[in-house]
Structure 1
Amino acid sequence: MILAVLILLVAQLAGEVTARSLGLLIPGPVLGLVFLLVALLVFPRLADVVRGTASGLLSHLSLLFVPAGVGVVAHLDVLGANAGPLLAALVLSTLLAIVVGALVFVGVARLTGSGADE
């Protein structure tokens, strides 16, 4: 387990160092995840080492949302004062995401030739 945690942390550290040293807009942990994916593809046995620990971390992923929930509760007055604009932004962004997703789906279907005409 310690080796698996070490592998995960080294991947995150490598991503963080790379992102900061090159001034990339991609967050370090995301870049570290890409590095980990490449390492898992190059060294398939590494997946067996990391699998158990990664599954354990993923099963407790909901704990990472506790700080966000505390932040929401701590700032309920600010959220209440701005409820209208926040609700409008939430609804409009959701509708926009659905429309863009549908348009992309239709565009890809046309490009690949798999459409409703079949």
Structure 2
Amino acid sequence: MKIRDIIGILKAEILVEGNLDEEVKMACGSDMMSDVLAFVKDQSVLLTGLVNPQVVRTAEMMDMHCIIFVRGKRPDQPVLNLAEQKEISILATPYRMFTACGLLFENGLRGGCDVS
């Protein structure tokens, strides 16, 4: 799936436009960046309601290509500037995290869970 596809699925607004044709294979949803750092591997997309610079720093460390802010949340301009510097796409969706994750899963984006 491409980031461009996610925009349509989640009725998302583009806040920072990175490479919208970037292919993404997996996603995760969390408001706890410590969990993202500890448990997330090979994820391309982060869904969160946390709107501080740590989200962008975490995404950068984990080599993520896109951050999606849920529940209509919008970060301040310094956070958007940092994401632009790091070439990370930023989207905002009106959906709650559970719904947004479900819609992405339903459309083929997986979470990389080791449980079968």
Q: TM-score, normalised by structure 1?
A: 0.20
Structure 1 or 2: more helix by fraction: 1
Larger radius of gyration: 1
Structure 1 or 2: more strand by fraction: 2
